[in-house]
Structures are given as structure tokens and as C-alpha cells.
Amino acid sequence: MAKAVVVGGGPAGMLAAAAAAQRGHEVTLVEKNEKLGKKLYITGKGRCNLTNAADFEAFFRNIPRNPKFLYSAFSAFGNADLIALVESLGVPLKKERGGRVFPVSDKSSDVISALARHLKNCGAQVALNTAVRSIDIKDGRVFGVRTEGGYLPCDAAVIATGGVSYPLTGSTGDGYAFARAAGHTVLPPKPALIPMVTKEDWPKALAGLTLKNVRLTAFSGKKAVFEEIGEMLFTHFGVSGPLVLSASSLVRQDDEVELSIDLKPGLTAQQLDARVLRDFAAYANKSVRNGMADLLPQRLIPVVLSEAGVEEEKHVHQITKEERAAIVGTLKALKLHVAGYRPIQEAIVTRGGVSVKEINPSTMESRLVKGLYFAGEVIDVDALTGGFNLQIAFSTGYLAGSSIPGA
């Protein structure tokens, strides 16, 4: 039996502590917040999109950086294992659009309570309101963990402290400092899954408007790097929502980035032109703004007409063929240009972190320090939206905890 300390009570830390305790180790999970899973509470808008039902290949397609590093973690504890565990703890789950998995109750608190019960059932001790000061390392191995409340001697320490996004939930980059002190390379943290600030002002007038079933294409330095149909949101600073967040992880953030929104992806330009003609025929004596009322949300119509260069009060019967073509062209490719990104504190996850080259992917143990393990967002891996990032946390946490050998 070994003594193990897990630093961080998020999804990675909870799974690491439970897995280690299940193997008979004496485990203490140390969390600086007053409760476990604080960031988990806000995932999926408080509904907890805890994983995705996609197969392994689809998982790897949704992980833009270092996907191969995760093969062993996903093999040890995949999405089916997570779903089975959570349901066995009394939380029924459901699958939604895009394979996203949520609790039937739509309450993240149900998942967190279940995982807390799991920790207790496995025999792990939990120390809340306890901040870690440093990891004690001598002669290339872990000897203990120094906390505000005292010293915890141990044979193994798992760093599962998260990144630097949403710092109010406790993700303040502590793990990077512990990793650097142990001699590890930490790639500079950058925002991933981050809303975009646009050069254009018109999104401000649409703030709060959600578009569903639109196609977003993102061009990074003129190269299309993202194209998907889904949901996006206009805000007071630009754009957000699942499509935009995923696109932000695939563009180079120092490139010139252009977004193109196809508002009617189910229709070809020719089919859309025929649809516009039919609507115009029905509203022949009305303004063109009224003539498009069946096609678009009311607030979006003036923007589309302005971008197409068509006067919104012009009567439908006065619209020329060229103006109609401009309207159709704008409906199929409404353009936005990215001026920047929201602060890293608003990112859903952090890009960067402890270099995967210095972590054994089969165990999550440091290649530099014996008995030191890493799990979750502190590692330089991140994925697109849809439950993939949480599965990375659960899988790497489980693998780290289950890889701790006997003392």
C-alpha cells in the first residue's frame, strides 16, 4: 500500500483519488475550495456535458493537439466506462445533439454529488479549504506535499489543478508552478474555446440572438481550418456559442481570421434564390425588410440587407435581380473579421501546460520525477466543445490514480 496525495478536486482529481483508493492505497485528496468540482458546476451551462458518446476515432478528430498522447488513457477509462460509472452511482444520463452526454436531471450538482459518494465509497479522504504550497521532491522522487495546514508525507502525488480559465473556480495555475519547480517544461497557457471579438460593430445590435443550424466556416490566414453546422451566439463584443468556441481552438490566434456564416446551409444558392423569389412574390407591395420576415429572425434582417448593400425600406417589387443576388450571397456567406479574443479567464479550457514529452502516456507519471503524476487540464492537451475536454480529465485522472504502484 502506498500513500498518495491528489492535488485538486475537479473531475481529474476525483477520478484519480478514487482509482488509487480502489487499489488499496491510502489517499488524501486536497482541494483549496470549500467544495469539490467547482468548475464542473458551470460546465454545459450548469447542466454538465460530462462526455461525448462518439467512438474513439471521432474523439481524436476533436482533439487538435497531442491526441496520440491520450490513447492509453482512453483505453483504460473511456466514455462507456464513465457513463457506466455515473449511472451506477444513481445518476441516469441522456444523449443529445452531437453525441453530448448530460444527466437526465440537467443538474451538474447530481454528477458532483455522485462522484463525491464514489470517493467516500472507495475510501479516499478529502481535505477541503486546504491550499497546497509545494511538492516535496528529493533525489528525483516525491516525498510529500506541503499544505497550508501542514505536511503530508507520501509516495505519490497527482497534480490535477486545472489550467487558468475561470480563476474564480480555483483554476489559478498552481499546477504549472509545481511542475516547473519539479523541472518540467510548461508551455505558455493560452485561451482555448474562447469567444471572439469582431472588428464589425453590428453584432452588438444582435447581442443575445442565438442562431441554430447555421454553418460557420473559419479562415485562418485565408485557409479554411474549421467548418461545421450548429449553434452560435451574438454578443456585445462579437460572437460566441459552440461553433465559435470550437473554431477558436483551430485558428492561429495571431493570424488574420475571417468568419463566414451560411444562414441557410440546407439550401443551395439556387434553391435559396427560388425561396427568396417566392417570399418576395407574397410580399410584393411591402418593404424588403418585411419581405424577409419568414426567412430570418427580425433583428438579423437589417444587418443582412446592409451587408448586401440593399436599402431596407425599398419595396420588394423594386428589387433588381442584382440586388436579390447580393441578398442571397450574403445569406450564404455573412462575413465577420476577428479583432481579438476574450481574456484567458473567460476561456472554457486552457491551451498549453505541462509538456506531454515529459509525461509517460501509459501511466501519466512524470518522466523526470518518480511518484509525480499529472492529470487533466494542467497537461498540454485540449479538445473542441461537446464533452471531450471533461472526458480527457476523467480518463487521465483514472489512469494516473490506477498507475500508482504499491510502496
Summarize pLDDT for 52-69 with one digit per residue, the tens.
999 989 999 999 989 999
Query: What is residue 1's predicted lDDT score, i.e. its pLDDT?
Result: 87
Measure the CA–CA gap between 391 and 386, rounded to whole angstroms.
10
pLDDT of 46 above 90: no
SS3 assignment for 192-228? ECCCEEECCCHHHHCCCCEEEEEEEEEEECCEEEEEE
pTM to 2 decimal places: 0.87
Which residue intervals of the chain bear CATH 3.50.50.60? 3-191+348-402
Instruction: Provide the phi-psi class of 129: left if phi over 0, else alpha when psi is between -120 and 50, else beta.
Output: left
Higher pLDDT, 41 or 370: 370
Look at residues 256, 255, 198, 199 and name the one whose alpha carbon lies nearest to residue 232: 198
Distances (CA, A) of 236 to 198, 199, 201, 233, 239: 10, 12, 9, 10, 8
294: Cβ–Cβ under 8 A, 6 or more apart, which residues?
279, 282
**Structural element, H or E, at residue 388:** helix 388-402
Rg (CA), the chain: 25
404, 363 contact by CB (below 8 A): no
Distances (CA, A) of 280 to 294, 297, 324, 331, 401: 10, 16, 10, 15, 64
Q: Cell numbers of 76, please?
A: 483504460
- CATH number for 3-191+348-402: choose from 3.20.20.70, 3.50.50.60, 1.25.40.320, 3.10.110.10: 3.50.50.60
pLDDT of 5 above 90: yes
Q: Is 345 helix (H, G, I), strand (E, B) or coil?
A: helix
Query: What is residue 285's predicted lDDT score, i.e. its pLDDT?
Result: 87
| pLDDT band (50, 70, 90) for residue 136 | very high
Give 245's DSSP letter: H
> What phi and psi, each to the nearest 5 degrees, are found at residue 257?
-120, 130
* Tens-place pLDDT, residues 320-335: 999 999 999 999 999 9
The stretch 106-118 carries a mean pLDDT of: 96
Measure the CA–CA gap between 16 and 394, rounded to whole angstroms.
8
Query: What is residue 407's predicted lDDT score, i.e. its pLDDT?
Result: 63
Query: What is residue 169's predicted lDDT score, i.e. its pLDDT?
Result: 62
Q: Which range scores top for mean pLDDT: 243-257, 283-297, 390-404?
A: 390-404
386, 371 contact by CB (below 8 A): no
pLDDT of 140 above 90: yes
Q: Supply the angle between the helices 108-122 and 11-22 in degrees, to the nearest 10.
A: 30
On average, the pLDDT of the chain sits at 94
Query: What is residue 252's predicted lDDT score, i.e. its pLDDT?
Result: 87
Measure the CA–CA gap between 280 and 276, rounded to whole angstroms.
6
* Tens-place pLDDT, residues 354-403: 999 999 999 999 999 999 999 999 999 999 989 999 999 999 999 999 99
Query: What is residue 97's predicted lDDT score, i.e. its pLDDT?
Result: 87
Q: Supply the angle between the helices 269-282 and 321-332 in degrees, to the nearest 10.
A: 120
Q: Cell numbers of 335, please?
A: 462575413
Query: What is residue 173's predicted lDDT score, i.e. its pLDDT?
Result: 83
pLDDT of 167 above 80: no
